[in-house]
Each structure stands twice: as C-alpha cells, then as structure tokens.
C-alpha cells in the first residue's frame, strides 16, 4: 500500500466530516427557525402598527413586503458567513470582500444604484402602494410588490411584469381618488335626441340607486360626437376605485335594453357602394 495512503488519518477525516455536517445541519435549522420567527414578528408588527397609527392596508402591505425582503437578504448573508466560518475560512476577508463589492457596485453598476435610489424615493414619496392600479413604463396592472430594485406589476391578463425602478420615467396611479365610468352610446340620426337622453337618464338614475359603487351620477352629458352614421351620446359617473369597469358594463346592458324597449335604434355602420356602369359605345 502506498505510503501517502497509510499516512491519511481516516478516523480524523470522518470525525471532521461528521462535525462539519452536524454544524451545517444545526445552522440550517437555526436559519429556518429564525426566518419563520422573523417573518411572523414583522407581519404582526406591521399589523399592530397599522391598527395603532391608522395606516392604510395598502401602505402596510407595501412596507411589510419591503421589510421582509431586507430581512431575507440580511439573514442569507449571515447564513453564508456562518457556513464559510465552518470551513475555517477567514470571515473578516469575506466581510472585507463584501465592502470591495459594494465599492465596485458604486463605481460600476450604475443601473443597480439607479434602481435603488429610484425605489427609495418611490417609497418615501408614497407614489404607489400594493394593490393599486397603475401605469408604469407603459405597463398597466395592479401593484403586487414594491422593492428597492424592482417593482412587480400584474397585468389584467395575469402576466407579471418585473420593472426595474430605473425604467420608471413616468408613473400614473389610477387608485388615489374616485374613478370615472364613461359610456358612449350611439343612436341613429332619425331618432329624437331629447327622447333618447330622457330614456338614458332614467336608466342612469335607476342604476345609481341600485349600485353602491357609484359615488356620483351617472349623468347624461349630451351629444359627444356626430359620426358618419350615428349620434354619440356620453354618460359620465364617478365610482369607487377599481369598480368603474363593472359599472360601465352594467350601464351598457341597461341602456341597450331601455333603448330597445323605446324603439330607439343603435345603428350599424352604413356603407354605400357606387358602381360605374358600362360606358355607351359611340
């Protein structure tokens, strides 16, 4: 048997491997316990703060998700540091390396720094909160998460958009006040406009009495446009946030039924085709 093999202390190696394995298992157990306890404490703390300070639920969810993210990053860094320490690597070198990486980010990764700075001001100025309907970087949807680096928006088709904060050049928040329900209904040129307005307003008054989501109106404003084959009449009302589409659908159905009952036509587009006849032979 070669001398280098006989020189290997298998018992010491096995003992060391067992010790390292037990330490890793212990650290992972502590990590998962600390993560579960930390998440529960953060959630309960924000719930208590929301009740005591009368903070809106959307704002509480926004800050809670951000705190959970920061807590996870810190916990993972501690986990990596402890694991490296098990293998007797100089932890101070790792921490120093983290500082060097931080400097490298500051000098080189300008996009990441821009993400963090923009995200910080979005949160500081309370431009958006979780659950609000927004338009960000050309994307429409409901905010699911606001972070220091990215903002998560779920589109109405279910697609989740991860938008780097530096790309948020303009932001439209559609959920900070009452929304408008706008419905345009066309009638034919042959119908009496005043009669159509009367019928439509009666429908609007009935829907307003039935629908709690309506804050103001809806009212028939009058003729909005004169089309090629129709007269467009506009109805406008105000609703609570995120309920404008449901109110618009209900109004369209009720208006269509009422116009049919009163013999008022919603015209189809008309097209007249002229055909040039055969030229007489001379």
pLDDT tens digits for 138-190? 888 888 888 777 888 888 888 888 888 888 877 888 877 778 888 898 888 88
Spatial CB neighbours of 258, under 8 Å, sequence gap ≥ 6: 199, 200, 202, 203
Mean pLDDT of 50-72: 69
CB 31 within 8 A of CB 75: yes
- Tell me the pLDDT band of 1, cut-offs 50, 70 and 90: very low
Residue 118 C-beta-side C-alpha neighbours within 13 Å: 19
Output the pTM of the full model.
0.52
Q: Give me the pLDDT at residue 11, please.
A: 64
- Inform me whether the pLDDT recorded for 268 exceeds 70: yes
pLDDT at 105 over 70: no
Look at residue 93 and tell me whether its pLDDT is greater than 70. no
Phi/psi class of residue 271: alpha, beta or left (left: φ > 0; alpha: ψ in -120 to 50)? beta
* Cβ(227)–Cβ(187) below 8 Å: no
Section 232-248 average pLDDT: 86
Range ranked top by mean pLDDT from 18-27, 59-68, 197-206, 211-220: 197-206
Rounded CA separation 185/206 (Å): 17
For residues 168 and 119, what is the distance between their CA atoms, to the nearest angstrom? 9
Most confident of 63-67, 83-87, 140-144: 140-144
Span 120-148, average pLDDT: 80
pLDDT cut 90: percent of the chain above it: 3
Look over the chain and give the mean of its residue pLDDT values, rounded to a whole number: 77
> Which residue is associated with the tokens 């972070």?
147
Whether the pLDDT of residue 2 is over 60: the answer is: no
CA dihedral 204, 205, 208, 209 (to 10 degrees): -150
What Å distances lie between residue 99 and 75, 90, 114, CA to CA? Answer: 17, 15, 19
What's the rounded Cα separation, in Å, for the pair 252 and 209?
A: 16
Which contacts (CB < 8 Å, 24+ apart) does range 246-250 have? 246/213, 247/181, 247/207, 247/211, 247/213, 247/214, 247/218, 248/181, 248/182, 248/183, 250/207, 250/211
The sign of the CA dihedral 59, 213, 172, 144 is positive
Q: Measured between alpha carbons, how far is 220 from 199 in angstroms, rounded to an integer?
A: 10
Identify the pLDDT of residue 129: 80
**Cα–Cα distance between 90 and 248 in angstroms, integer?**
66
Tell me which of 249 and 126 has the higher pLDDT. Answer: 249
Relative to beta strand 179-187, strand 214-226 is unpaired
Of the two residues 102 and 49, the one the predictor is more confident about is 49
Examine the pLDDT at 73 and tell me if it is beyond 70.
yes
Three-state SS for 31? helix
């Amino acid at each position: 048997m070669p001398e280098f093999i006989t020189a290997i202390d298998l018992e010491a190696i096995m003992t060391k491997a067992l010790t390292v394995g037990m330490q890793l298992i212990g650290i992972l157990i502590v990590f998962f316990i600390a993560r579960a306890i930390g998440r529960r404490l953060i959630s309960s703390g924000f719930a208590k703060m929301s009740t005591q300070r009368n903070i809106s639920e959307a704002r509480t969810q926004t800050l809670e998700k951000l705190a959970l993210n920061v807590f996870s990053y810190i916990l993972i860094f501690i986990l990596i540091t402890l694991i490296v320490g098990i293998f007797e690597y100089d932890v101070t070198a790792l921490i120093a390396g983290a500082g060097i990486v931080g400097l490298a980010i500051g000098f080189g990764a300008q996009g990441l720094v821009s993400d963090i700075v923009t995200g910080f001001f979005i949160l500081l100025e309370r431009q958006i909160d979780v659950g609000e309907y927004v338009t960000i970087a050309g994307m429409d949807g409901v905010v699911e998460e606001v972070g220091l680096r990215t903002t998560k928006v779920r589109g109405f088709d279910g697609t989740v958009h991860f938008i780097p904060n530096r790309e948020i050049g303009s932001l439209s928040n559609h959920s900070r006040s009452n929304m408008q329900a706008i419905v345009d209904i066309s009638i034919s040129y042959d119908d009496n406009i005043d009669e159509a307005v009367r019928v439509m307003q009666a429908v609007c008054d009935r829907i307003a009495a039935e629908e709690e989501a309506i804050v103001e109106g809806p009212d028939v404003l009058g003729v909005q446009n004169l089309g090629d084959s129709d007269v467009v009449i506009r109805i406008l009302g105000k609703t609570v946030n995120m309920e404008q589409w449901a109110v618009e659908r209900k109004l369209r159905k009720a208006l269509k039924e009422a116009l049919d009952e009163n013999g008022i036509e919603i015209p189809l587009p008309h097209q007249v085709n002229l055909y040039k006849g055969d030229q007489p032979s001379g």
